[in-house]
Chain A
Amino acid sequence: MKGNIIKYERDNIDTDVIIPGQYLKVHDYAELATHAMEGLDPDFHSKVKEGDFILSGKNFGCGSSREHAPIALSHSGVKAVLALSFARIFYRNSVDGAFLLPIEIEEDAYNGISEGDEIDIDIGTNEIKNLTKNQTYKMKPFSEIIGKIIEAGGLFNYKP
């Protein structure tokens, strides 16, 4: 899966900046997308392209259980978030609702990948290739259940 990186070099990007509380009443996915990342980066909506990836630090998606957060990113075109770690509900919502792939990375990828780099993620080999810089990094493999739910296309398609 190939895409270009939008990088936020910071930890603890919380759900209040991914989709501010005033939009919790909104359940139209396309409208939510227009407010994605509004609390941190008001230009996000104009710069994000279909198939982009977000790269960030530790504890991405901390805060509320609002599924609006992965929905807003996914419907903006974001196919994966690469982060040093994820908050649990954001991670779970992303996978169970099949909105986007939460990819856990190591410091080498976090430091090595820059804004705009073209990346190729292979969840079969757990490798991330930086096509712009010709570097390769390891991603942390998904746990067994997460891998199976992703493969099934979300929790409702998964047969325990």
Chain B
Amino acid sequence: MNIVEKILARASEKSQVAPDDVVFAKVDKVMVHDVSGPGVLKVFDKLKNKGVDVSKLWDPSKVWVAEDHFVPSAEKVSAENIVKLSNFTKNYGIEKHFKYGMGQYGICHTLSHEEAMVMPGDVYVGGDSHTNTTGALGAFACGLGHTDIAYVLLNGQIWFKVPETDYFKLNGKLPDHVMAKDLILKIIGDIGTDGGNYRTMQFGGSGIDEMSVESRLTLCNMTTEAGAKNGIVEADQKVVDYLSSRGATNAQVFKGDDDAQYANVYEYEASEMEPLVAKPFSPENVAVVREAPSVELDKSYIGSCTGAKYEDLEAAAKILKGKTVKIRTEVLPASISIYKRAMENGLLTIFLDAGVTVGPPTCGACCGAHMGVLAKNEICISTTNRNFPGRMGHVESETYLSSPMVAAASAVTGKITDPRDLQ
């Protein structure tokens, strides 16, 4: 069995599973945030009206809660959702609630790895589509809606159809100035936004072995944009060390069997990769940066679960050091732990000296909610994951998706710029 089949077999207490089998899998960790949490509570209300007992969760110690989409609250509906979330964790005895304004908090997917909350081999579900991110730790990590999360919170398990797995093999180390974001954009451009629908996208090969855990997180994060059920990388010693340095000393190497089967294998040569963008209005609308349209940008956005991990900020700072931005540029570290490291290591000074505004962790502008949304006809280059119409603001605004290096280089010139071409 491959790694996903092994995880789902273990979680459903079967000796063997194969693609298309339907299993009820026991869940190891569950996440809700300030959008899905109130949504789940609405499902609880409906159940209560039908006489279902919703007074206790199956295991509050396996649940954790993030405040990320609408913090800081811009208006009262968002503020009330945060109050609902606080009442929820208090009433149900959930201890892991990462609150805005109280130490460590940030984007839910970022916390999953920064706080080492998910272990290799886990079944981890979250009330957010980019839950796929955490598959980079060797877990089966999958996004679900409110009804399904409510079901998990009450029953501790959920149904899955065992997915077919496509294996994406990267041969060799990515060149300088080419990031994991470029590789995943390349893959989505090749297979399309439905190319991974209902499937697992697994990443491996010498280039992935070489890659940092944070880069692998970027790959798995955007498997969502290909429609995948989950993205995954087998957990090697790097993952064990990464988790251990964040306090989880019980993590172990976890891989598929030697005779693991894959539906398709795609091979990529790292030496052939170059910086890319996804043009409006789809993540599959991919172009080489050097051949991208010469548009006047209004904004560069370095944020989100996809593109504001420590390594992403470090890459952007390398480009922005000693430069001045020509367009409105925002850096929003994805968690307080990342924010603090960026401060301690001088990255924030580099950003501020370049004229960048550094903001608090939030999903805010990535999903067009608040904290810097786009006006009509504005054009943004962004390290985020989606560029559908209206995604980051007005329905007639445009977003180009890129790596942090491309977003930083473009901030300096005001045009879509390959970091290798920056003087």
Q: A residues bordering B, Cβ < 8 Å?
A: 12, 14, 16-17, 20-22, 24-27, 29, 39-40, 58-59, 62-68, 85, 87-89, 92-93, 96-97, 143-145, 154-156, 160
**Chain A positions within 8 Å of B39 at CB level:** 27, 67-68
B81: Cβ under 8 A from any A Cβ: yes
Question: In angstroms, how far is the closest chain A Cβ from the Cβ of B292?
Answer: 21
B102: Cβ under 8 A from any A Cβ: no
Q: Are B24 and A160 in contact (CB under 8 A)?
A: yes
Q: Which residue from A16, A26, A87, A156 sits with its C-beta under 8 Å from B147?
A: A156
The segment from B190-198, B262-270, B341-349 found at the interface with A is B190-198
B390: Cβ under 8 A from any A Cβ: yes
Question: In angstroms, how far is the closest chain B Cβ from the Cβ of A75?
Answer: 12
Q: Are B391 and A156 in contact (CB under 8 A)?
A: no
- Assuming A27-B38, A145-B161, is B77 touching A96 (CB within 8 A)? no
Interface of A is mostly: loop
Q: Are A25 and B145 in contact (CB under 8 A)?
A: no
CA distance A22 to B365 in the complex (A): 10
B47: Cβ under 8 A from any A Cβ: yes
Question: In angstroms, how far is the closest chain A Cβ from the Cβ of B365?
Answer: 10
Q: Are A17 and B194 in contact (CB under 8 A)?
A: no
- Assuming A16-B391, A58-B194, A65-B36, is B129 touching A92 (CB within 8 A)? no
Q: Are A63 and B129 in contact (CB under 8 A)?
A: yes
CA distance A40 to B229 in the complex (A): 26
**Chain A positions within 8 Å of B38 at CB level:** 27
Question: In angstroms, how far is the closest chain B Cβ from the Cβ of A159?
Answer: 11
Q: Which residue from B146, B147, B391 sits with its C-beta under 8 Å from A154?
A: B147
Q: Are B227 and A67 in contact (CB under 8 A)?
A: no
CA distance A89 to B158 in the complex (A): 14
**Chain B positions within 8 Å of A16 at CB level:** 367-368, 386, 388-391
**Chain A positions within 8 Å of B52 at CB level:** 156
Question: In angstroms, how far is the closest chain B Cβ from the Cβ of A15?
Answer: 8
Question: In angstroms, how far is the closest chain B Cβ from the Cβ of A3?
Answer: 23
* Residue of B42, B194, B229 contacting most chain A CB atoms (<10 Å): B194
**Chain A positions within 8 Å of B229 at CB level:** 88
CA distance A27 to B131 in the complex (A): 21
The 7 closest A-B pairs by CB, nearest first: A93-B145, A21-B367, A97-B147, A67-B145, A65-B129, A59-B194, A67-B146
Binary CB contact string for chain B from 10 to 26 against chain A (1 if under 8 A, 0 otherwise): 00000000000010100
Question: In angstroms, how far is the closest chain B Cβ from the Cβ of A20?
Answer: 6
Q: Are A63 and B151 in contact (CB under 8 A)?
A: no
Q: Are B194 and A96 in contact (CB under 8 A)?
A: no
Residue on B nearest A88 in the bound complex, by CB:
B198
Binary CB contact string for chain B from 195 to 210 against chain A (1 if under 8 A, 0 otherwise): 0011000000000000
Residue on A nearest B47 in the bound complex, by CB:
A156
- Assuming A21-B367, A24-B35, A59-B197, is B145 touching A89 (CB within 8 A)? yes
- Assuming A14-B388, A97-B146, is B227 touching A87 (CB within 8 A)? yes
CA distance A156 to B147 in the complex (A): 8
Question: In angstroms, how far is the closest chain B Cβ from the Cβ of A48?
Answer: 19
Question: In angstroms, how far is the closest chain B Cβ from the Cβ of A139?
Answer: 18
Question: In angstroms, how far is the closest chain B Cβ from the Cβ of A64?
Answer: 5
CA distance A97 to B144 in the complex (A): 12
Q: Are B47 and A89 in contact (CB under 8 A)?
A: no
